[in-house]
Structure 1
Amino acid sequence: MTDDTTRWTTPTRRDALKCGTALAASGGLAGCSSILGGETDDTDSGSGAYTVSMSPMGEVTFEDPPETVFTRLTHHADMAFALGRGDSITAMHAPDYYDGLWNQFVARLPGVTLDWKGLYSSWKPSKEKLYELNSDVHLADPAWIAIQDAWSREDFEEVTNNISPWVGNSLSDRHAEPAPGWQEGYEYYTLWEQFEIVADMFKERKRYEKLAAVHDDLTSTIESGLPPESERPSAVMLASADLDEIYAYTVRNPGFLTAHLRPFGVSDAFDGEIETNTVVDFETLLSADPDVIFFLGGFEPGTSLPKRKEALRSDPVASEITAVQSGRMYPQGARYQGPILHLFQLEMTAKQLYPDAFGEWPPYEEGPYPEIPAAERLFDRKQVAAAIRGEV
């Protein structure tokens, strides 16, 4: 694994767009100065080469902001969308599913639309398809793809040399171990740290700053309203379409998977007894006995939250769980949250956990994110929508 100061460059047909990544261990930017005319600071104005750096790729240099974007996971797709690049995406995992899920939240952003339907589903991308898509950047994590698809470094080098570079980090989701050969020097980022780098890649600093200000205000509101630790519940987060196979996620592990839960100081009901992303049964859940259950994907179109709750209430074991008996079972968004979904998830989690401090969570069964009265919202939808539209 090379470190973040190494650059890998081979002149290609896209040398006017980029000049390097650190996917291979060659040193320096040999030959790039004459191609790019030197480096400039990354700002929203001006022209010339500029560089961003993100683990595991290291430094990547661009001449112009990418216009078409390959993504693998939704945190990256959400970042592109947040920066006004929603229509630039050429691929993503399960596009029709996530189009439906994300639009449940986008419906509350005035003047903003999102359409990911029909994109190439990139869960197991082929190099041939990447050539066909011909994207200006691959906003995806090579160390993650190497785990899933056993791509070699030569595969990533070929794509970089002949198509465009890689810029992305996914293992920060829960600080997972990189694939062999990618472990040395791998860095983990918070969601908003990574979003800032992606914003600089697109030269969208002003959009980022406007959204970051909304996020800062929201987190300040949360911090000032938290009840004492003795009044904070235990919780689990579950993902399951039909409750036949239940994936459980612990709520205090590092990474942006739980970035919308950690600020609220809830305790992990499993108390270290299981690893996050573990299949559990009702007996295991009862042993943990959480005060609150969160359902990942609870906003998915076609999902019936009442049916899911009833399935737990009607089971002789699950019905004994404290969260089931009290009715404290709530929907959540998605595992790979980007900045826009994160704002909604912080707001909903605040209301679900601490209604006395942040206002009641409205009754919800299905459909878009509930319409919360303006005076009870924890962040300004109009500011977020304006940033996405570029009104900065």
Structure 2
Amino acid sequence: MPNRDEVPAEPTRRAFAKYGGAAALGGLLAGCTGGGDAAGSADDGGDGTGSGGGDSAGSGGDTDEDAETDKVDGSYTTSIAPMGEVTFESPPETVFTRLTHHADMAFALGRSDGITAMHAPDYYDGLWNQYVERLPGVSLDWTGLYSSWQPSKEKLYALDSDVHLADPAWITQQDAWSREDIDEVAERVSPWFGNSLSDRHQEPTDEWADGYQYYGLWEQFELVAEAFQERERYEALAGVREELLATIDENIPPAEERPSAIMVAAADIEQIYAYTLSNPGFLTAHTRPLGPRDAFEGSIESGTVIDFETILDADPDVILYLGGMEPGTDMAGRRTAFEEDPVGSEVTAVKNDRIHPQGARYQGPILNLFQLEMTAKQLYPDAFGAWPRYEEGPYPEIPEAERLFDRGRVADAINGDL
């Protein structure tokens, strides 16, 4: 790991080209966004709102001379909030990520082997591979990567990634990082290109508030695909999703016939956390389109610690158990804990054996497809086919006639067989 004395005194040619002329003029990270409001939809997490907006401002726009240079040297410019316009000299191959929605995007775009860092890599390697098992000819290995929940600037220099697929507005919430550090890494290593506060529409700090914009999961994925110059892969996967959502819309029961549900997580059954199902943001990109009734009726905020009595008061028809698909989770034991408790055993979902596993809230496009399918079956078995009683192992092998999306098409997109 280099120390500060080993940091280059001037931006490298690669970093300068990737950040473009705007970086040299100090305007690229000024929070400008391109193209007005986000056009997010209710089914993917965006609602078209943000704390800023408007056309790109400052020196980030291409002049005629810049455009001609782009044609000659292959560089290109794209934009995402909160960074604004970012210029790449070539498509990134190595990718720093912090959260798994970005790691999954890189995976979907054929860059899984190029990921240099992510949060809790061994845990999420195990979880994601539960789903990847059902994608023919696709492999994923995130074990042993740098765990980037609290990344150091020196480590980012050492990793020397082609892009930092992470949100600087979130990174600077840590005491070790300042806006100056963000600018330094962008200019001397490679640019930032990510958005995480769209997860549940968190408010950015004042230094990032001007122009911050919220994106739906697939809306952000499209922007990331542009940064990687992988439009075809994106369109192939977006087509699968559109067909999946159309199937859901055509078959979902009317609102008055839908079950009530809650989502919970617990490392041990003594401390249960509740999570919302329909609030804005990409964390609910797999539950919001399915429209279950909130058994808590809005009285519980995400991350609230609850007990069996609170769950019985809400008495959900379905309990969605976050993390239940992770290989180290004892899903059978979680059910038993409810069944053997004198209060928990009275909950309707427990009586009817409707405690079902979930994967992760910080989902990217690949996990989102699987979680839409599995949650549709968990909530509406009569409409979409029953979800097997899962206890362990990879994502269940759903009969082909009962699958809600084509695994082969997804695998081909990831592998670049377009």
Q: Same fold (TM over 0.5)?
A: yes
Contact 2:200 2:283 in 1 (8 A): yes
Match among 176, 186, 205 for residue 160 of structure 1: 186
Structure 1 residue 30, shift from structure 2 partner: 9.4
Q: What is the alpha-carbon distance in structure 2 between the residues aligned to residue 339 and residue 92 of structure 1?
A: 17
Aligned counterparts, 1:97-246, within 5 A? 97-149=123-175, 151-246=177-272
Residues 248-300 of structure 1: CA deviation (Å, up to 9, x unaligned): 11111011111111111111111121212222222222222221111111110
Structure 1 residue 39, shift from structure 2 partner: 4.3
Aligned counterparts, 1:1-392, within 5 A? 12-14=12-14, 15-19=16-20, 20=22, 22-24=28-30, 27-29=58-60, 37-39=68-70, 48-149=74-175, 151-392=177-418
Q: What is the alpha-carbon distance in structure 2 between the residues aligned to residue 30 and residue 102 of structure 1?
A: 39
The change in CA–CA distance for 1:16 and 1:116 in structure 2 (over 3 A counts) is same
Contact 1:292 1:329 in 2 (8 A): yes
Q: What is the alpha-carbon distance in structure 1 between the residues aligned to residue 255 and residue 67 of structure 2?
A: 55
Q: What is the alpha-carbon distance in structure 2 between the residues aligned to residue 185 and residue 200 of structure 1?
A: 20
Q: What is the alpha-carbon distance in structure 1 between the residues aligned to residue 267 and residue 176 of structure 2?
A: 28
Secondary structure of residue in 2 paired with 1:324: helix
The change in CA–CA distance for 1:346 and 1:29 in structure 2 (over 3 A counts) is closer
Contact 2:11 2:188 in 1 (8 A): no
Contact 2:295 2:316 in 1 (8 A): yes
Q: What is the alpha-carbon distance in structure 2 between the residues aligned to residue 16 and residue 164 of structure 1?
A: 9
Secondary structure of residue in 2 paired with 1:28: helix
Contact 2:19 2:187 in 1 (8 A): no
Structure 1 residue 121, shift from structure 2 partner: 0.2
Contact 1:36 1:48 in 2 (8 A): no
Aligned counterpart, 1:4: none
Counterpart amino acid of residue 18 in structure 2: L
Secondary structure of residue in 2 paired with 1:16: helix
Aligned counterpart, 2:40: none
Q: What is the alpha-carbon distance in structure 1 between the residues aligned to residue 61 and residue 210 of structure 2?
A: 24
Aligned counterpart, 2:4: none
Tell which deviates more after alignment, 348-357 or 23-32: 23-32
Of all paired residues, the percent bearing the same amino acid is 68
Aligned counterpart, 2:45: none
Contact 2:18 2:86 in 1 (8 A): no
Q: What is the alpha-carbon distance in structure 2 between the residues aligned to residue 60 and residue 158 of structure 1?
A: 15
Q: What is the alpha-carbon distance in structure 2 between the residues aligned to residue 359 and residue 378 of structure 1?
A: 9
Secondary structure of residue in 1 paired with 2:336: helix
Tell which deviates more after alignment, 157-166 or 27-36: 27-36
Contact 1:54 1:168 in 2 (8 A): yes
The change in CA–CA distance for 1:47 and 1:267 in structure 2 (over 3 A counts) is farther
Q: What is the alpha-carbon distance in structure 2 between the residues aligned to residue 245 and residue 181 of structure 1?
A: 36
Contact 1:103 1:368 in 2 (8 A): yes
Give the root-mean-square deviation of aligned CA atoms: 2.1
Q: What is the alpha-carbon distance in structure 2 between the residues aligned to residue 369 and residue 35 of structure 1?
A: 49
Structure 1 residue 29, shift from structure 2 partner: 4.4
The change in CA–CA distance for 1:320 and 1:135 in structure 2 (over 3 A counts) is same
The change in CA–CA distance for 1:147 and 1:287 in structure 2 (over 3 A counts) is farther
Q: What is the alpha-carbon distance in structure 1 between the residues aligned to residue 342 and residue 250 of structure 2?
A: 40
Q: What is the alpha-carbon distance in structure 2 between the residues aligned to residue 166 and residue 99 of structure 1?
A: 24
TM-score computed with the length of structure 2 as normaliser? 0.86
Q: What is the alpha-carbon distance in structure 1 between the residues aligned to residue 383 and residue 408 of structure 2?
A: 23
Structure 1 residue 31, shift from structure 2 partner: 11
Contact 2:96 2:164 in 1 (8 A): yes
Residues 74-125 of structure 1: CA deviation (Å, up to 9, x unaligned): 0000000001000010000000000000000000000000000000000000
The change in CA–CA distance for 1:373 and 1:149 in structure 2 (over 3 A counts) is farther
Q: What is the alpha-carbon distance in structure 2 between the residues aligned to residue 70 and residue 356 of structure 1?
A: 42
Contact 2:17 2:87 in 1 (8 A): no
Tell which deviates more after alignment, 286-295 or 339-348: 286-295
Q: What is the alpha-carbon distance in structure 2 between the residues aligned to residue 242 and residue 300 of structure 1?
A: 14
Structure 1 residue 232, shift from structure 2 partner: 0.4
Q: What is the alpha-carbon distance in structure 1 between the residues aligned to residue 181 and residue 324 of structure 2?
A: 37
Q: Structure 2 regions of 5+ residues with no counterpart?
A: 1-9, 32-56
Q: What is the alpha-carbon distance in structure 2 between the residues aligned to residue 257 and residue 51 of structure 1?
A: 28
Contact 1:124 1:149 in 2 (8 A): no
Q: Structure 1 regions of 5+ residues with no counterpart?
A: 1-9, 41-45
TM-score computed with the length of structure 1 as normaliser? 0.92
Aligned counterpart, 2:42: none
Structure 1 residue 33, shift from structure 2 partner: 8.1
Q: What is the alpha-carbon distance in structure 2 between the residues aligned to residue 118 and residue 204 of structure 1?
A: 27
Q: What is the alpha-carbon distance in structure 2 between the residues aligned to residue 287 and residue 155 of structure 1?
A: 49
Secondary structure of residue in 2 paired with 1:181: helix
